[in-house]
Homo-oligomer: A and B are copies of this chain.
Amino acid sequence: MSIFSNRITKLFNVDYPIVQAGMVWTSGWKLASAVSNAGALGLIGSGSMYPDVLKLHIQKCKAATSKPFGVNIPLLYPDIEKHIQTVIDEEIKIVFTSAGNPKTWTSTLKQHGITVVHVVSSSTFAKKAEDAGCDAVVAEGFEAGGHNGREETTTMVLIPAVKDVINIPVLAAGGIATGKQMLAAMILGAEGVQVGSRFVCSNEASNHINFKEAIVNSKEGDTMLSMKKVVPVRLLKNNFYEVISNAEASGASKEALKNMLGHGRAKKGMLEGDLVEGELEIGEVSALIKDIKPAAEIVQEIWDDFNAALKDPLCQNI
C-alpha cells in the first residue's frame, strides 16, 4: 500500500486519516492503543472516567503503543479542570474536545503544545472552533451515536456546509463504518473520518459483549435520536427508549424526563450490558455492522475498502 499524506495524517502523524472516536464506556487504553498501533489515531474517551482512572488509562496506553494517540474530553465534564491538568501533566499531544464551548480551554491546551480538535454539529460551531484556535474539527452528522445537535443535519449535507466556512481540516463523523463511506465523506470535503460505532464492535472495546451483539443484530430503524427535550442522544431502541419516548410524546416536561433518565443509565447499558433498562448509545450505521473483530482488522478493512473505492469509484469493474 502506498503512503497516503494529507493535512490530517500530518497533523496527527499517522498513516491513515482515520480516528477512532473517544466514546464513553468503550474507548479505554486497550482500544486506543490497538487502533494507534494499526496506523490510525486511537482516542481515550475520558467522559466516563474519574480523573485518576484517566491517568491510569493514559499511562497504560503509553506502555502499549509508541504511536500517537489522543484523549477526548467532553467540556461539560464536571471535573474538567482535573482532566485538562491530567492531559498536560501526561504530555498528551492530541486532545479532542466536545460538548461545550471551544473558547474555554483551547488556548490553554495550545500553550502546552497540544493539537486541539473540536467536535461540532453545525457550520456555525465549526467557525467558532476555528476562531478559538482549534487545529481541525470533527463535523458530526445526525446519524452519529450518542449526543448530537438539534439541527439534525446529516453528514451528506453537513460536511459541504462546514467545509464551506472554515480553512482548517474537517473530519467527518456519523454514518461511517466502511471505506466507501469514508471516501464518500472525503469527496464531500472531509480530509479524514472519525469512526465510532464500528469500533464499539471491536474485541478491544471495553463495553459489554451484550451491547456489541445487540449492535450486530440491529437493523435500519433500530436507533433513534431521542430525549430531544433534555439533550438529543442517538441510541439503540429498547425498553428504556420506549418508556422515555412515550413520555416525551405525551408531553412530559424536561424535568420529568430527567428524573426518568436518572443517573448511570449509559453505564448500566453499555458497560454492564443491561439491554432492557440501560441507555445504549450508538449510531445509525450499526445496521451495517455484521461482526465483532480486532480493532486492527477494522482499521485495515476500512483502509483497503477506501483504496479500492478510490481506484474504481463507480464500481465499473463489478
Contact = CB atoms under 8 A, between A and B. Distances in A.
Contacts of A186: 313-314
Interface in A274-318: 284-285, 287-288, 309-310, 313-315
A199 to B, nearest CB: 17
Contacts of A34: none
Contact of A187 (B150, B229, B248, B309): B309
Contacts of A313: 183, 186-187, 310, 313
A123 B175 CA distance: 16
Interface in A139-166: 141-143, 149-158, 160-161, 164
Given A151-B221, A249-B229, A251-B250, A174 B187 contact: no
B249 A122 contact: no
**How many copies of the polypeptide does the oligomer hold?**
2
A189 interface: yes
A46 interface: no
B183 A156 contact: no
A236 to B, nearest CB: 13
A141 B154 contact: yes
B181 A160 contact: yes
Contact of A156 (B154, B189, B309, B314): B154
A184 B175 contact: no
A224 interface: yes
Given A180-B188, A181-B188, A189-B180, A174 B151 contact: no
A248 B285 CA distance: 28
Interface in A89-103: none
A221 B124 CA distance: 11
A19 interface: no
A87 interface: no
A310 B310 CA distance: 9
Contacts of A194: none
A154 B188 CA distance: 15
Q: Which 9 A-B pairs have the closest CB atoms?
A: A251-B251, A151-B221, A156-B175, A184-B184, A154-B154, A143-B154, A250-B251, A157-B284, A184-B187
Interface of A: 6, 122-124, 141-143, 149-158, 160-161, 164, 174-176, 178, 180-181, 183-189, 220-221, 224-225, 229, 248-251, 284-285, 287-288, 309-310, 313-315
15 contacts: A141-B154, A142-B142, A142-B143, A143-B153, A153-B220, A156-B156, A156-B184, A157-B287, A160-B180, A160-B288, A161-B287, A161-B288, A186-B313, A187-B314, A310-B313
